[in-house]
Amino acid sequence: MRDGDWLTETGAQIRGVLKVMVDAGWLPGGAAVIGTGGMWEFVAVGRIDGESDTAPDVAYDVASLTKVMATWPLVGQAVAEGLLDLDAPMSEYLHAEGLPGARVTARQILTHTSRLNPVTWLERYVGTDQDLGEAILADPLEDPGYQYVDRGFILLGLLLERLYGTSLDRLAGDLWDELGMRSTTFGPLTRSPAVAPTERRLPGAGPAWGVVHDEAAALMGGVAGHAGAFSTAIDLGAFAREMLRLHEGGPGPVPSSFVRMSWQPHVDAGQRLWRGLGWLITPEGVVYHNGFTGTSLFLHPDSGRYVGVLTNAVHYGRDRVGLGDLRSAARSALTPQAHGSPP
């Protein structure tokens, strides 16, 4: 299928699913970007709340997309600069000698095989004098195997700050500027129609608006390696386009070799999925990541096509009805059958 036809068809599919979700009252609205090469198309359906329409330049809390939009590329940058060895134990960078997690490596964190505690629960450290990085490594390790863990990316964010001697939001901001992502930032953002609110946690109170939805990231001041970033459909498309270009060997702030290595299967993640470094990989060669608030980014390196979706699916509650169908439509649009090529 020609690029222009694929863009039009995929845009119509995503728009249709979003409209069903909005009309059913499952979420206020959402925006999406569909692109390939130098072409892209935007979709915007519904509103950010009860009043203001959504648009491709509305900022959404991307939740765990922070892992792959901030922490993952910064790790690749640190590796290229000789500041970080993916296979060196954390004890080489943090005061962790004698702690259960002293031998955990960055590679294990990126592949979610670190055995760190899967329960984020940072509240237990509030009011103590314990360094957060060391506290994470002090907890007993889980049994060996694959298990998705936020704590590892929290730890990587803290580690990056120590390696570079500056804050994670500044490091990420410089990276995003270099990638042409002018509207991506950590919060807080001013409450306005240009920002989509997330969940109303307390009946009778207002929703979280311009501040991070993730509780652990909120405890860390809104800046963390696993969550906290806000982005627009326009910037999500710019990020996808740049990562695909780097994958093909183009110059940029993240080494092409790191991107290619990250998009190769490393660990069996179950359900016919593999985990690369940070990203999930499907049998069709689609690489992707999701965010709890209702966000996703899917890329197909072989075709150079991508679909990014931003919603505030938690606005009416955490059931996020219909979100699976939206993500399935985005992923299916990137399968070989959708490209008009053999499976």
Supply 107's token pair.
Answer: 């590679």
Predicted pLDDT of residue 50: 85
Whether 299 and 73 have beta carbons less than 8 Å apart is answered as no
Q: Is residue 296's pLDDT more than 50? A: yes
Per-residue CA distances from 153 to 50, 62, 65, 270, 275 (Å): 34, 15, 11, 21, 15
With a CB cutoff of 8 Å and minimum separation 6, the contacts of 91 are 97, 99, 102, 103
Average pLDDT, the chain: 96
What would the mean pLDDT of 16-25 be, rounded to a whole number? 97
Q: Is residue 197's pLDDT more than 90? A: yes
Query: pTM for the full model?
Result: 0.96
Predicted pLDDT of residue 338: 62
What would the mean pLDDT of 305-333 be, rounded to a whole number? 97
What would the mean pLDDT of 161-179 be, rounded to a whole number? 98
**Paired sense of beta strands 185-186 and 229-231, if any:** antiparallel
Predicted pLDDT of residue 341: 44
Bigger pLDDT: 218 or 341?
Answer: 218
Predicted pLDDT of residue 339: 61
Report the alpha-carbon distance of residue 152 to residue 118 in Å, rounded.
9
At 336, the pLDDT band (50, 70, 90 cuts) reads confident
At 175, the pLDDT band (50, 70, 90 cuts) reads very high
Q: For residue 123, how far is the Cα from the chain centroid? A: 23
Predicted pLDDT of residue 1: 83
Bigger pLDDT: 123 or 336?
Answer: 123
What would the mean pLDDT of 299-320 be, rounded to a whole number? 96
Predicted pLDDT of residue 317: 92
pLDDT digits (tens, 9 = 90+) for 101-112: 999 999 999 999
Bigger pLDDT: 335 or 99?
Answer: 99
Predicted pLDDT of residue 162: 98
Per DSSP, what are the bridge partners of residue 59?
A: 195
Instruction: Identify whether 144 is preceded by a cis peptide bond (ω within 30 of 0).
Output: no
At 343, the pLDDT band (50, 70, 90 cuts) reads very low
What would the mean pLDDT of 308-337 be, rounded to a whole number? 94
pLDDT digits (tens, 9 = 90+) for 44-65: 999 999 889 999 999 999 999 9
Q: What is the per-residue burial (b if ≥16 Cβ within 10 Å, else e) of 315-324? A: bbeeebebbe
Report the alpha-carbon distance of residue 341 to residue 343 in Å, rounded.
6
